[in-house]
Amino acid sequence: MNISTDPWVWIAAILTLAVFSFLYRENPFYRFAEHLFVGIANGYAITFYWHRILVPYLFNPVSHGQKLYLIPIAIVGMLYFTRFIPKISWLVRFPIAIALGYGAGANIPRSIDANIIQQLKATIITRASFADWQQGIWAVIILIGVICTISYFFFSTERKGIIKPVSYVGIVFIMVGFGASFGYTVMARISLFIGRLQFLLGDWLGLIK
């Protein structure tokens, strides 16, 4: 055992245990840790938004007489503050409109290509899919699975005739997919806990060699 003498490691360990104490039951230590986290997270964000965006991209150029068009842009940005003044809170719509408009507009053509066209290309079977016969069979299964999955979510017609068995095959694929996701989710959650224990047992208590 080689317990750390670094005060910050002790602070980190105590805060870690304070959050873990929630597992026994809710208590003031957990609440303290929770509120502390929210405060520091916001203070950290304020720091970097100031030092890495506002100072280099706004205050520095404007104070040197460059890019003076940034002044009206900054005024538009400051309209975010009006969110907290009820009489003029409608002004917050302007900066939101600019950010939202650009984000939505830029996203449309790009996500159509990335999430629909490229995915369609990967689903369609061509002769090239059978360059390796095994990969070709998996490609056929994927095509069948995609069609059946989509048919399961098609609620505009009654499930009868061919749609019924096709939808059922879709459910089978979906259940396997969700099972795979659940299995991996278990791994993910356990990993997060392992990380904390590696800190407590390793960095703090020195039990891990």
Q: Which of residues 146-175 bind other proteins (CB under 8 A)?
A: 146-150, 152-153, 170-175
**Integer-rounded Cα radius of gyration of the chain:** 27
Distance CA 16, CA 159 (A): 52
Question: In this structure, what DSSP letter does residue 130 have?
Answer: G
Binding residue count for other proteins, defined by CB under 8 A: 131
59 binds other proteins, rule: CB under 8 A: no
Distance CA 196, CA 19 (A): 11
Per CB under 8 A, contacts with other proteins among 79-118 are: 80-81, 83-84, 89-90, 92-116, 118
Pick 160 or 209: Cβ nearer other proteins:
209
47 binds other proteins, rule: CB under 8 A: yes
Distance CA 205, CA 203 (A): 6
What spatial distance separates the first Cα and last Cα of the chain, rounded to whole Å? 9
Place of tokens 């997270």: 41
In whole angstroms, how close is the CB of 133 to other proteins at the nearest point? 15
In whole angstroms, how close is the CB of 127 to other proteins at the nearest point? 17
In whole angstroms, how close is the CB of 97 to other proteins at the nearest point? 4
